[in-house]
């Protein structure tokens, strides 16, 4: 135990910390969580790097963050490959697909940056702190930041951005994430560099919703006009979007007024690819330098190439197939849906689709990486007898026929085929209908997709 770190930590706990922060440090001291979990949860609560380092030092762990091994080379342009291409408009609050996310994130910034391990670091917010019940979160903003059009970044811009994200009339694609958590009236300006979020109820994970994990939450000027994102550089990031051709690519130049100083690159040239095989060939053929993601099934050549560096991330991305339960069909019965879930060989799916570079899911979008995940829930396994019993209880012992509609993104079509084959064991015949993103989501409104 380091005495200096302990003294610094004691001072923080006595004079600054609230009950949430003190409970967190107690869990670390008791050995109830490991170093990675502590860092992730501490950054969510807004503990400073010095306090995190003191806590880890006091209880025998290594430093929280290591210094970089080397300085990146300055200059040159990055050739970025992106799949799939953006679908629809580039207005951040309307983002629904990965192409839009990548295109916006090169130029846009968030209040908080989420690392690959889902620790949260300051970006346009310097700090964030909850009240004792985690119903009110106060954010201190970074001073001296300007938008690429020269306007200063202030609390007014944060308020306008989050009111847009939480307004049901705006078409916001982040609305489902904020529903029941934050209402438009809960976003308030305290002063030019302080914003307060008054939540609909307690939420200890709220900073994630203001981070890069909510990819629609790019900060924009208060007077932002919908439909102008690709026409006028107006974000705060290191690169300005200066050219965009739908389905083809985007061009970015270094932002000379970036608050973070001079960016390492002169610019970024993004090329869009509709087919996984094409982006794999382009990377192997040295036509591009970096791609945003790979489909393991079509990208095995990359996994086996000594010239390609794969950056794995422990996170929450997952593949899912949605079944309509709002119509008169057998899938409306939860027993039928549970029966289908029990036909799946989850380890086999992970091996086939992801070359074992993943974890079996448990029918929940809450990945193990999140502290809020209930890890006591038993892992669901393949159980055909139990599945058949559920089918009989639902009144369809001999199965049924249905259409399963899903999207042509990453491994999802191959996943749908595996589900289709698995369902045959309980007499369910699924006819697959695979659609593009734009056809599948439509206007992302009930009855229009």
Q: Is the dihedral of CA 391, 392, 396, 401 positive or negative?
A: positive
pLDDT digits (tens, 9 = 90+) for 232-262: 889 999 999 999 999 999 999 999 999 999 8
| Burial state string for 116-131 with b = 16 or more CB within 10 A and e = fewer than 16 | eebbbebbbbeebbbe
pTM for the model? 0.71
Q: How confident is the model at residue 63 (pLDDT cuts 50, 70, 90)?
A: very low
Residue 65 has pLDDT above 60, yes or no: no
Instruction: Evaluate the omega torsion of the peptide bond into residue 122 and state whether it is cis, within 30 degrees of 0.
Output: no
8 A C-beta contact, residue 296 and residue 303: yes
Residue 419 has pLDDT above 90, yes or no: yes
8 A C-beta contact, residue 272 and residue 247: yes
CB atoms within 10 A of CB 417: 13
How far is residue 361's CA from residue 112's CA, in Å, rounded to a whole number? 27
The whole-number pLDDT of residue 302 equals 86
The whole-number pLDDT of residue 240 equals 96
Tell me the average pLDDT across 168-182: 94
Find the radius of gyration of the CA atoms of the chain: 24
pLDDT digits (tens, 9 = 90+) for 70-102: 445 678 999 999 999 998 889 999 998 899 999
Tell me the average pLDDT across 379-407: 95
Tell me the average pLDDT across 165-178: 94
Share of the chain above pLDDT 90, in %: 57
pLDDT digits (tens, 9 = 90+) for 135-147: 999 999 999 999 9
The residues, ordered by sequence, that sit 6+ positions from 293 with a Cβ below 8 Å of its Cβ are: 83, 98, 410
Mean of the per-residue pLDDT values of the chain? 86
Q: How confident is the model at residue 175 (pLDDT cuts 50, 70, 90)?
A: very high
pLDDT digits (tens, 9 = 90+) for 314-356: 667 788 888 888 777 899 999 999 999 999 999 999 988 888 8
* CA distances for 169 relative to 165, 175, 184, 327, 445, angstroms: 10, 10, 11, 26, 12
- Helical H segments across 59-184, by residue range: 98-105, 155-166, 175-178
How far is residue 449's CA from residue 447's CA, in Å, rounded to a whole number? 6
Residue 200 has pLDDT above 70, yes or no: yes
8 A C-beta contact, residue 111 and residue 124: yes
Q: Could you give the domains of the chain? A: 3-58 (no CATH), 330-441 (3.10.105.10)
Tell me the average pLDDT across 290-311: 83
The whole-number pLDDT of residue 234 equals 92
The whole-number pLDDT of residue 105 equals 94
Residue 264 has pLDDT above 90, yes or no: no
Residue with the two structure tokens 């762990």: 61
The residues, ordered by sequence, that sit 6+ positions from 403 with a Cβ below 8 Å of its Cβ are: 430, 431, 432, 433
Residue-by-residue DSSP string for 282-316: HHHTTS-SEES---TTT-HHHHT-TT-------S-
The residues, ordered by sequence, that sit 6+ positions from 273 with a Cβ below 8 Å of its Cβ are: 81, 82, 83, 84, 85, 279, 282
């Amino acid at each position: 135990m380091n005495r200096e770190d302990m003294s610094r930590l004691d001072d923080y706990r006595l004079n600054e910390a609230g009950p949430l922060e003190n409970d967190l440090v107690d869990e670390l001291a008791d050995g109830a969580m490991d170093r990675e979990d502590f860092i992730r949860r501490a950054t969510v609560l807004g503990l400073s790097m010095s306090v995190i380092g003191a806590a880890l030092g006091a209880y025998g762990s290594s430093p929280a963050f290591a210094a970089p091994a080397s300085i990146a080379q300055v200059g040159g342009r990055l050739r970025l490959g992106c799949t799939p291409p953006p679908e629809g408009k580039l207005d951040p609050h309307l983002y629904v697909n990965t192409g839009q996310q990548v295109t916006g994130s090169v130029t846009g910034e968030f209040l908080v940056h989420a690392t690959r391990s889902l620790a949260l670091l300051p970006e346009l917010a310097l700090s964030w702190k909850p009240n004792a019940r985690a119903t009110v979160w106060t954010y201190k903003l970074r001073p001296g930041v300007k938008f690429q059009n020269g306007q200063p970044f202030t609390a007014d811009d944060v308020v306008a951005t989050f009111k847009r994200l939480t307004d049901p009339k705006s078409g916001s694609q982040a609305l489902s994430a904020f529903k029941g958590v934050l209402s438009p009236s809960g976003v308030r300006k305290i002063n030019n560099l302080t914003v307060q979020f008054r939540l609909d109820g307690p939420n200890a994970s709220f900073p994630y919703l203001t981070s890069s994990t909510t990819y629609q939450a790019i900060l924009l000027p208060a007077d932002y006009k919908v439909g102008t994102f690709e026409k006028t550089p107006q974000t705060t990031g290191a690169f300005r979007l200066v050219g965009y051709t739908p389905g083809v690519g985007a061009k970015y130049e270094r932002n000379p007024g970036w608050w973070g100083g001079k960016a390492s690159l002169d610019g970024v040239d993004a090329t869009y690819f509709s087919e996984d095989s094409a982006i794999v060939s382009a990377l192997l053929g040295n036509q591009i330098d970096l791609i945003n993601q790979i489909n393991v099934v079509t990208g095995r050549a990359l996994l086996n190439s000594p010239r390609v560096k794969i950056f794995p991330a422990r996170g929450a991305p997952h593949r899912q197939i949605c079944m309509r339960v709002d119509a008169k069909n057998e899938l409306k019965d939860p027993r039928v849906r549970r029966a289908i879930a029990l036909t799946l060989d989850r380890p086999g799916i992970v091996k086939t689709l992801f070359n074992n570079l993943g974890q079996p899911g448990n029918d929940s979008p809450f990945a193990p990486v999140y502290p809020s995940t209930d890890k006591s829930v038993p892992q669901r396994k393949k159980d055909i007898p139990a599945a058949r019993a559920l089918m009989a209880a639902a009144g369809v012992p001999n199965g049924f026929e249905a259409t399963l509609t899903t999207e042509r993104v990453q491994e999802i079509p191959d996943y749908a085929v595996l589900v289709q084959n698995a369902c045959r064991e309980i007499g369910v015949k699924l006819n697959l209908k695979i659609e593009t993103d734009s056809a599948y989501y439509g206007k992302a409104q009930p009855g229009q997709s």
